[in-house]
């Protein structure tokens, strides 16, 4: 049985016949397959010491790449036949690329290294034909770099890990109370001031421990161009998130006029050094709207994604209730209350983005007050928001907290580092289904796909992100890509068997995953408080 993750739709074989790949293997690439051609030569070739020179299409020792309009988008057909070599046909360029990721897995863990560890070793794969296509078109990973900054090379590494697992949407959470991570040239204080906090709480917000040194960093616009281009070469779309009107203390610390200065001394605010939800939210003024329109103008220049995420979640409204200016704005706009004011914020940028050919997406709180026709929803507070959105005709990305928040703990053992939330095991992730059963077939078509979210309050470095994300991200990738049975009928034992091979691939890529037997000594965080919750999580 082929040990692939995510599991393909159909495999014919493998047979005992061997299809070699060696220094004489040529690469034949048809027009439209350039991203895979470059990836094979720049990544797979160096790992195995194979040059992949160009050669004729009829070569008996070749890797052939071609497009096939009889296949659906992102689908591929990989054929390994003696005397014909390897052929990857894709329904589009992305399909060819996903087929190449499958080829890499078939070649073993050495193919995931950066240089040959067995120079001259015989390489090849058994004779077989694999036919495959994704279940969902949105197969996402959200990475929070606002709470703990991840330098550009770490982000590029995660794009590589996403490609390995056939994930194709990178939701980039760039701003929050604890840091602003994107250079905006017309508003330089957003990064000069907003990208650094004086100290950081170590652990959950109940922890008494502090790291008493500044933390921060930001991406220059050239960094972003590099990230977006690197992702595009791997057929990954980068969806930026700029949070409004809540989760905005870092922006207000940089530009105090953005806050509710009639009820709080915004000039004294600093970038927040604690976790949780700050009470400092944007003032509902025309000046604030014009400021963020300027921010989004630069965002649109950097990110070609159709979707732009505006956050829209967890907006505390105490300052608006106390603010005479905010109350006057509610009356001026004819709104019922402060909830209407939040909806007014979101709808303004919904219309603004739509006028520029983009689509707004936000966390499910943006449903409150109504949405424009083209807006989409990230359903995080359970399934309910996604169900409501789909029934109202809005597209949905399912990412319910109690199912696919990878910052939540993986086991109930005492050695789990900074345990947050309910236990969400590898098997729990594997049995998640993004489509709620209460949706009709027509409504279910609004489910664009699903996304795993990695919030980094308790993840101070790359190794901690690795530990929380893996191996669960591999299980998530399979439920996002593969046509699996109903959750209760899924063969988790077979998935675990395939993971035995996959752990060696992750080892070769240097991923500091959680071992099946529990955390290694250096992965533990004794004495650092988390927020474990006992019992079964709600399924709402």
Query: Considering Cα of 269, then 270, then 271, then 277, what sign does the dihedral take?
Result: negative
Buried b (16+ CB within 10 A) or exposed e, 237-247: bbbbbbbbbbb
* Structure tokens that stand for 344 in this block: 């007014």
All residues at 6 or more sequence positions from 237 whose CB lies less than 8 Å from its CB, including other chains: 168, 169, 170, 231, 305, 307
What are the residue numbers of the active site? 176, 247, 314
Furthest-apart CA atoms within the chain: distance in Å: 79
Q: What angle do CA 434, 440, 443 make, to 5 degrees?
A: 70
Residue closest to 498 by CA, chosen among 471, 468, 467, 518: 471
Q: In whole angstroms, what is the distance from residue 288 CA to residue 278 CA?
A: 18
DSSP codes of every residue in 29-93: E-TT-HHHHHHIIIIIHHHHT----B--TT-SSEEEEEE-TTSPTT-EEEEEETTTEEEEEESSH
Q: In whole angstroms, what is the distance from residue 418 CA to residue 465 CA?
A: 12
* 457: region left, alpha or beta (phi > 0 left; psi from -120 to 50 alpha): alpha
């Amino acid at each position: 049985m082929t040990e692939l993750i995510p599991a393909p739709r159909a495999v014919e074989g493998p047979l005992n016949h061997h299809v070699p790949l060696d220094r004489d293997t040529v690469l034949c690439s048809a027009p439209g397959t350039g991203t895979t051609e470059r990836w094979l030569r720049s990544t797979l070739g160096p790992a195995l010491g194979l040059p992949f020179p160009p050669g004729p299409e009829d070569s008996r020792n070749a890797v052939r790449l071609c497009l096939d309009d009889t296949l659906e988008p992102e689908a591929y057909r990989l054929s390994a036949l003696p005397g014909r070599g390897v052929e990857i046909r894709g329904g589009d360029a992305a399909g060819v690329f996903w087929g190449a990721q499958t080829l890499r897995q078939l070649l073993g863990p050495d193919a995931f290294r950066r240089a040959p560890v067995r120079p001259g070793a015989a390489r090849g794969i058994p004779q077989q034909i694999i036919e495959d296509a994704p279940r969902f078109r949105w197969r996402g990973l959200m990475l929070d770099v606002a709470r703990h900054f991840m330098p550009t090379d770490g982000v590029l590494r995660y794009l590589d890990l996403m490609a390995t697992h056939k994930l194709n949407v990178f939701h980039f959470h760039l701003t929050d109370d604890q840091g602003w991570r994107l250079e905006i040239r017309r508003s330089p204080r957003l990064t000069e001031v907003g990208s650094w906090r004086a100290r950081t709480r170590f652990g959950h917000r109940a922890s008494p421990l502090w790291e008493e040194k500044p933390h921060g960093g930001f991406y220059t616009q050239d960094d972003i161009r590099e990230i977006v281009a690197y992702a595009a070469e791997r057929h990954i779309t980068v969806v930026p998130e700029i949070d409004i009107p809540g989760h905005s203390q870092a922006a207000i610390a940089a530009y105090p006029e953005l806050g509710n200065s009639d009820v709080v001394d915004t000039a004294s605010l600093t970038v927040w050094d604690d976790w949780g939800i700050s009470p400092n939210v944007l003032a509902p003024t025309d000046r604030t709207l014009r400021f963020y329109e300027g921010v989004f103008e630069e965002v649109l220049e950097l990110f070609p994604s159709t979707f732009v995420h505006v956050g829209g979640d967890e907006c505390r409204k105490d300052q608006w209730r106390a603010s005479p200016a905010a109350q006057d704005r509610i009356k001026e706009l004819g709104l019922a209350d402060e909830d209407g004011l939040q909806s007014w914020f979101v709808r303004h940028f919904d219309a603004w983005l739509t006028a520029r050919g983009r689509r707004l997406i936000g966390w499910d709180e943006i449903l409150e007050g109504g949405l424009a026709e083209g807006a989409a929803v990230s359903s995080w507070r359970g399934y309910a928001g996604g169900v409501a959105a789909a029934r109202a005709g809005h597209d949905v990305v399912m990412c319910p907290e109690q199912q696919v928040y990878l910052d939540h703990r993986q086991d109930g053992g005492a050695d789990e580092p900074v345990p947050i939330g309910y236990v969400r095991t590898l098997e729990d992730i594997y049995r998640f289904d993004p489509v709620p059963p209460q949706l009709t077939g027509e409504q279910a078509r609004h489910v664009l796909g699903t996304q795993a979210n990695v919030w980094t309050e308790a993840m101070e470095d790359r190794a901690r992100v690795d530990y929380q994300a893996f191996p669960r991200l591999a299980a998530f990738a399979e439920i996002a890509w593969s046509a699996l049975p109903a959750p209760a009928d899924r063969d988790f034992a077979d998935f675990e068997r395939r993971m035995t091979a996959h752990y060696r691939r992750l080892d070769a890529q240097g991923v500091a995953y959680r071992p099946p037997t529990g955390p290694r000594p250096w992965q533990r965080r004794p004495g650092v408080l988390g927020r474990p919750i006992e019992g079964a999580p709600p399924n709402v």
